Chains A and B, each alone.
Chain A
Amino acid sequence: MKKSKTLDFKVIFGRLFAFMKPYRKGLIVSIIFIVLASMFNSFAPFILGKATDAMIHLVVGGEPSSVGIKNFITILIVLSICYALYSVFKYFSTHIMVRVSQKTIYDIRNRVDDKLKKLPLNYFDTNTYGDILSRITNDVDTISNSLQQSLDQIVTSVTSLIFILIMMLAISPVLTLIGVITVPMALVISMKIAQKAQRFFKEQQDTLGDINGYVEEMYTGHNVISAFSKEEDVIQDFEVTNHELYQSGWKSQFLSSTLMPITQAMTNLGYVGVAVVSGILVISGKMTVGMIQSFIQYLRQFSQPINQTVQISNVLQSTAAAAARIFEFLDEKEEIAEANPSEFPEVVDGTVDFEHVKFGYLPYQTLMHDVSLHVEPGSKVAIVGPTGAGKTTLINLLLRFYDINDGSIRMNGVDVRKMKRAELREIFGMVLQDTWLFTGTIRENIRYGKLNATDEEVINAAKAAHADEFIRMLPGGYDMVLQEGATNIAQGERQLLTIARAILSDAPIMILDEATSSIDTRTEVLIQDAMATLMKGRTSFVIAHRLSTIRDADMIIYMQSGDIKETGTHESLLAANGLYAKLYNSQFAENNG
């Protein structure tokens, strides 16, 4: 599955920059400003040295020299202008860069989000939410953090290095050699340390992963641990990993913390060398005191970009890794293109036909071999069978969450593959076992079934679903905001809301997945009644768990290992004494005893 093991930096950053394209004007201006800022910043120490030299000539032979004073003031003015321009350009370059990078991130996030709706459902069934979520959040965050800072830093570093080097050479090639000779040394040492730190860092990340996993497991199973009094054992195990984490943690921290002192020490060595040599040079009349000052400043400024280079290379690596993961996601195969031109049945009354449908989730593994089915409008179809029999698959195919391999599925005679997905799905309403609601008001959640519904329609749907009564009792009523997972209302109430949502959608075909357990009897009665309202006059497909539903069905489909084994009514299937009869009887042998 992995497309490239080694990260191709060029391609990745090329694509990343493609995202900045709409903002390239800002980007270019910002970069120009950064270059200008570092130019002024690199020029300033030179003038500062000149100012110092001019200071010496303020007094000539014990008397203030008017020429000297004039000269000194002029230099100060130039220096001030230089500083001011630096600050102004620096400020605006950041100001623009922040906007460019944040907008780029905004676009990347939207693009990733947009991709979500284009992916086939298969993708979500085969990848964990955690993995997808981490790409959308963590990976984008990583890029976001590095994009604006790194870009600024890289341009600043590179231009500063060049400008400073030029200025240093202009002042004194010999001093430049002394000052700069330590730089490669610092770099080599830093690289060596970074390599070593990397090992501990990886160890630390691994242990951290272990500890996070352990904590998650133990907290989730907390009541079991308490029930079996295993607290101390668990703590002992934890301490061991925690200590390992400490060991690898402080080592990697320490090693990476030595980078700065080492470059600093190297710069300081240069400082001493420059101080001594330039002192001697001044004595021999080969340079001025002001030049010493300029040079020392350059040396300090020079160490900064060097320091950052090591940092930036780390940041770039993690950015590339994160970007690679995002691009991998963006490159995932999308749903098959819509039929063009598309068709739509003239009348949609809920007639559904399956003709010799063949399907498998994996290309080499056929699950459904040959399914044919005719459903009359307005009929109630109960799908039963053991887990893994293909009940959910049938629903997935109806809604065209997956495309079939062979045969056809038709709505009033029109093949679903010839219809637009959105138009096809408008035919369906759905109530699933896991009651999905989002953080928003109850009104918004019901309206989800039909986005342009009026308030009155929403309330009517709620009434039909027996939800109106409990909603009115809630603080805020229809405007109460549901928490994540709608944990601030009861499970049964959540179910009623999803039914209301389906009722509002007023779709000709309903798909229902009955809840298996854990709903109180009173609410259960309400739910059953609401479901009955929902199914009235519509074709409905029910993944049935309740015997009452099964018995009332116009058609029972018994599925096993992907295929339909039996179809018929409750009575006819019992009379046939086949698989359904066996299931039915085995379940109730107990109860009758």
Chain B
Amino acid sequence: MTKVFKELGHFKIGIIFIVITVIGNVIASLALPNYLSTIINESIPNKDVLGIISIGGTMLIFVLIGAVCNIATGYFSSKVSMGLGKNMRSNVFRKIQYFSQTEFDQFSTSSLITRTNNDIIQVQNFINMLLRVSLMAPFMFVGGIIMALSKSATMSMILLISMPVMIVVVLLIGKFATPLSKKMQEKIDKINLVTREKLTGIRVARAFGTEDYETERFKEVNADFMKNSIKMNTLMGAMTPVLSLVLYATTVALLAFGGYQIVTTINGIMIGDVIAVIQYVMQIMMSVMLLSMIFVMYPRAAVSAARINEVMDTVEAIQEPAIPASIPQEKGVLEFKDVVFGFEGADHPVIKNISFTSNPGEITAIIGSTGCGKSVLINLIPRFYDVLSGEILLDGINIKNYKIEDLRKKIGYVPQKAFLFKGTISDNIQFGDENASEDRIEEAIRIAQSYDFVTAKEGGFEAPIAQGGSNVSGGQKQRLAIARAIVRKPEVYIFDDSFSALDFKTDAALRSALMKEAKEATVILVAQRVSTIMHANRILVMENGQCVGMGKHEDLLKTCDVYKEIVYSQLSKEEA
């Protein structure tokens, strides 16, 4: 939260205005009882009607000042809190755009989304509340006490007892409410979790007839939430009666003490003063009650702020080189030299001593079991992750020495999960090369075996793609993602298991069309299906991060047991 307050530093002027207007409002509010007491103490005993009217005029001015200040507070605090939210959102979004895969793994995508959306809104609302409402409390508190003292120092002695009592009550409630409020969040998350699971597992639950078990599971978390919620709300609900009791006890004490003074000193204190002091006490009390709203909001906002800071404080694992290398003339030679990679904090490296060279016009295929590191291996090429030791050279230069953008310009990457953006089909293809001509887009679409289904769509190339590409099938998505990579004419193609949703026929047709297109490019291809890779110039067989065989299909069948095992699990001996 302190970070957020520092962030508020950018809004110094706005905050200064807020403080000024809040003070203005406090002064105006406190002035009214003061004038009232003058009317009672002076004008009434003197039967001075004109005096009363002129005091009334002065009071009107204060009412006006108060209203203007109050509205101005709302204006400035809206601008400041929304401005703060905007800045934070902007910073967080920018920061995350330059995150590498390492950071996405660390936080998880959904968590990053929540941090950018909900968490910032939480903080923004909290700040708004703080500026608009709670800031008033301390000023009202101090101002009220000063005014009370000026009216009657002796009577104000009572405040010395009741005010600390009030502060203690508020702090105590805050102390107990904070952890409860935190727990509320956890318990509601739990309810959401169980519900989500029920929805995704509905078929399983019905097939196994465990609906009643599921109901019990839900009831349990629901009851847990209810209990906590009752505790929390009872506590917060106690605030008003308890504070009121303190306030009213103070009032009675003030009256009694005032009466005592009148009796003992004979007219030592004016009635108007008693009335004014009682009103000050009430105003102070009101502002303290408003302050207490913060206790409900603070824990959630603090958690959110911490989650945002976590993002902002992350040091990206991938850094730009200090002096970027100039782009070499050579084209499409990719070399892995003794590459080792491990995730942070893991005991064992995921990739151990991989070396190979792939030249333009060649296909290098990587196969192996899940978790063997093949996907990670190719994700090292566009520097989604950085190698632990060893080096990867592209056209003779270590990829770490390229400007990241220059490096990635050379690469046509097709991710494991084909991802399309909202927009048209041609928007999505142009994502690969924004200057691509219509002809070039069509060419790419044809190579990716997408021409038929694209033209069959209403709007053709301009047919809309829904968010996440949810209006095209998995296979179509993969093909469009491939077209997007083709359109940039990259030096290095990377296919991360990008043919998995294609049927065998399309898979074959696409590969043969691609080979014609990619004559001068290096193709790196990860696949599960043997049929997809068996014609590659070089097959890298991986197991547990190690290369256990490299060569052509026929050779590996003879020399590499792991490869043989994979092949026979998919094809019969004759087919292989």
Contacts and interface: CB of A to CB of B under 8 A. Distances in A.
B109 A222 contact: yes
A436 B198 CA distance: 10
Contact of B222 (A76, A109, A430, A432): A109
Nearest to B276: A293
Categorize the interface residue count of chain B: 35 or more
Nearest to A239: B90
A268 B63 contact: yes
Contact of B408 (A148, A228, A300): A228
Given A399-B207, A519-B370, A520-B371, A219 B408 contact: no
Contacts of B323: none
A264 interface: yes
A374 B211 CA distance: 30
Given A102-B233, A114-B215, A121-B202, A235 B94 contact: yes
B504 A590 contact: yes
A588 interface: yes
A242 B132 CA distance: 23
Given A94-B240, A94-B241, A591 B531 contact: yes
Does more than half of chain A's interface fall in helix, strand or loop, or is it mixed?
Answer: helix
A224 B55 CA distance: 72
B6 to A, nearest CB: 20
A106 B226 CA distance: 6
B56 interface: yes
Interface string B232-247: 0110011011101100
A275 B375 CA distance: 80
B404 A229 contact: yes
Contact of B259 (A55, A213, A238, A546): A55
B419 A234 contact: no
A253 B431 contact: no
Contact of A211 (B117, B369, B408, B571): B117
Interface string B215-238: 101110011011001100110011
Interface stretch (A17-25, A163-171, A337-345, A421-429): A421-429
A90 B117 contact: no
A271 B230 CA distance: 39
B505 A137 contact: no
Contact of B245 (A87, A226, A254): A87
Given A223-B101, A226-B382, A517-B500, A113 B195 contact: yes
A148 B40 CA distance: 42
Given A226-B382, A229-B408, A436 B204 contact: yes
A491 B369 CA distance: 12
A220 B210 contact: no
A521 interface: yes
B27 to A, nearest CB: 13
Given A211-B117, A212-B117, A517-B528, A220 B67 contact: no
Interface residues of A, number: 151
Given A109-B191, A124-B199, A261-B70, A52 B271 contact: yes
B215 A113 contact: yes
Contact of B44 (A87, A264, A279, A426): A279
A518 B370 CA distance: 6
Contacts, number: 433
A51 B202 contact: no
B234 A98 contact: yes
Contacts of A300: 282
Interface string B184-223: 0000100111111111111111111111011101110011
Given A228-B408, A228-B431, A238 B93 contact: yes
Contact of A590 (B39, B213, B531, B565): B531
Contact of A269 (B63, B74, B233): B63
B156 interface: no
Contact of B82 (A121, A246, A436): A246
Interface stretch (A522-530, A531-539, A555-563): A522-530
Given A121-B206, A275-B59, A217 B82 contact: no
A83 B198 contact: no
B47 interface: yes
A389 B158 CA distance: 84
Contacts of B47: 283
Contacts of A264: 66-67, 70
A11 interface: no
A497 B314 CA distance: 36
A58 B263 contact: yes
Contacts of B453: none
Contacts of A592: 575
B432 interface: yes
Interface in B237-268: 237-238, 240-242, 244-245, 248-249, 251-252, 255-256, 258-259, 262-263, 266-267
Given A213-B467, A283-B49, A86 B267 contact: no
Interface in A68-86: 69, 72, 76, 79-80, 83-84, 86
Contacts of A229: 404-405, 408-409
Given A51-B255, A518-B528, A98 B237 contact: yes
A229 B209 CA distance: 50
A133 B188 CA distance: 13
A64 B267 CA distance: 10
B426 interface: no
A470 interface: no
A38 to B, nearest CB: 12
Contact of A439 (B197, B222, B415): B197
Nearest to A53: B271
Contacts of A44: 248
Interface in B370-409: 370-372, 379, 382, 384, 404-405, 408-409
A257 B117 contact: no
Nearest to B227: A102
Interface string B142-174: 000000000000000000000000000000000
Contact of A238 (B66, B90, B233, B242): B90
Interface in B407-425: 408-409, 411, 413, 415, 419-422
A587 B531 CA distance: 9
Nearest to B90: A242
Contacts of A265: 63-64, 66-67, 70
A191 interface: no
Contact of B422 (A87, A217, A243, A426): A217
Contacts of A243: 86
A483 to B, nearest CB: 10
Counting chain A CB atoms within 10 Å of each CB, the highest count among B44, B99, B415, B468 belongs to B44
B83 A250 contact: yes
Contacts of B272: 289
A463 interface: no
Contacts of B545: none
A62 interface: yes
A117 interface: yes
Interface in A233-257: 234-235, 238-239, 242-243, 245-246, 249-251, 253-254, 257
Which has the most chain B C-beta neighbours within 10 Å: A88, A90, A449? A90
Interface string A324-350: 000000000000000000000000000
A129 interface: yes
B193 A484 contact: yes
A28 interface: no
Contact of B500 (A51, A98, A436, A516): A516
Given A261-B71, A438-B201, A519-B370, 19 more contacts: A83-B248, A116-B198, A124-B199, A129-B200, A217-B468, A229-B408, A229-B409, A246-B86, A249-B85, A261-B70, A275-B55, A279-B49, A289-B271, A292-B40, A296-B36, A296-B279, A521-B565, A587-B505, A590-B504
Q: Which 7 A-B pairs have the closest CB atoms?
A: A520-B369, A257-B74, A94-B237, A261-B70, A265-B67, A83-B248, A276-B56
19 contacts: A87-B242, A102-B229, A222-B109, A223-B379, A227-B413, A228-B432, A249-B82, A257-B75, A269-B63, A272-B60, A272-B63, A282-B44, A289-B40, A430-B203, A518-B370, A548-B569, A586-B505, A590-B507, A591-B571
